[in-house]
Amino acid sequence: MIDAILNYTFMQNALIAAVLASIVTGIIGTIAIEKRLISMSGGIAHASFGGIGFGYLAGFEPIWGGLAFAVGSSILISRLSKNTKMKSDTMTGILWSFGMALGILFISLAPGYMPDMTSYLFGDILSVSTSSIIYMLIFTIIISFVFIMLYHHLIIYLFDEEYSKARGINTRLLEWVVYIMIPVGIMVLIKIVGIILTIALMTIPVSIAKLYFKSYGRVILASIIISMVFCITGLTLSYYINIPSGVCIIVISTLIYLVLLFMRRRLQKRHHAQRVHGS
């Protein structure tokens, strides 16, 4: 593995992409889970496929089209759920299917042979190009910078929105920040695990971290480390046994999460039984 990283550019790019995706996972995943925006995030990820397809049709970098569709969908879900009687889950479901349909339509209309969209749907960390690393780095820096600058306000906002308002914090601004950060983060993760598996990478490392830590800061830091371990492990296995990297990362993550969850439940039951017998 070490020799491959040292000798091949694509392996170096894959490792860098894994680190960047892990940073995004820790920040965006924690925010999405605490604000109960996981379902919306899934809709945004799938809606972005419309922009990716439009990029192929119009002849520009598909990821920028995906970003535009993702941000637009996020803002649309937020505004409509606030200003109309339509629930956010309803609009999420509509944009979810609409974005996927548009993406297929645009790709089918593009001249030439239909491109292979597998990497966008299921991810392929081994095919991450240097240009992809550049925009992933830019997105990660933006997310990290905004999060650090607004850290204390965001933590209070995640803990209790009403309390944030009482403290005089501009919760409307923080809401806009959250609804823009999430789609930007999703675009980083798409190259790693794809549109279909993005939500799993956003939720599993954070869910594992929350089993052992309570404070947001520790959850975010632990999520970054856990995600990095999963990504690098999946990268290694996919390289040596020639299976899709995104699928490998999520399968490993899910199995480990289920094992840890089972062990924690067993441990809690044992402690509870000891307290009962002790009393």
Residue 49's CB is within 10 A of a number of other CB atoms, namely 30
CA dist list (Å): 83 to 37, 78, 79, 154, 233: 18, 9, 6, 23, 45
In a domain, residue 143? The reply is: yes
First vs last C-alpha separation in the chain: 54
Structural domain including 118 reads 13-202
In a domain, residue 220? The reply is: no
Tally of domains within the chain: 1
In a domain, residue 258? The reply is: no
Please check whether residue 47 is in contact with residue 99, taking contact to mean a CB–CB distance below 8 angstroms.
Answer: yes
In a domain, residue 179? The reply is: yes
Handedness of CA 225, 6, 245, 255 (dihedral sign): negative
**What's residue 222's pLDDT?**
95
**How far is 30 from 61, CA to CA, in rounded Å?**
29
CATH number of the domain to which 99 belongs? 1.10.3470.10
**What's residue 149's pLDDT?**
93
Planar angle of CA 113, 119, 123, nearest 5 degrees = 170
Q: What is the DSSP string of 53-110?
A: HHHHHHTS-HHHHHHHHHHHHHHHHHHHHHHSS--HHHHHHHHHHHHHHHHHHHHHHS
**What's residue 77's pLDDT?**
85
Span 87-110, pLDDT tens digits: 777 888 888 899 999 999 998 888
CA dist list (Å): 137 to 3, 149, 188: 24, 18, 9
Q: Which of 45, 65, 27, 236 minimizes the C-alpha distance to 147? A: 27
**What's residue 48's pLDDT?**
92
In a domain, residue 263? The reply is: no
**What's residue 194's pLDDT?**
84
**What's residue 37's pLDDT?**
87
**What's residue 51's pLDDT?**
93
In a domain, residue 109? The reply is: yes
In a domain, residue 157? The reply is: yes
**What's residue 105's pLDDT?**
92
**What's residue 71's pLDDT?**
93
CA 174 and chain centroid, separation: 19
Low-confidence ranges of the chain (pLDDT < 70): 1-6, 81, 83-86, 272-274, 276-279
**How far is 38 from 259, CA to CA, in rounded Å?**
22
In a domain, residue 123? The reply is: yes
**What's residue 130's pLDDT?**
86
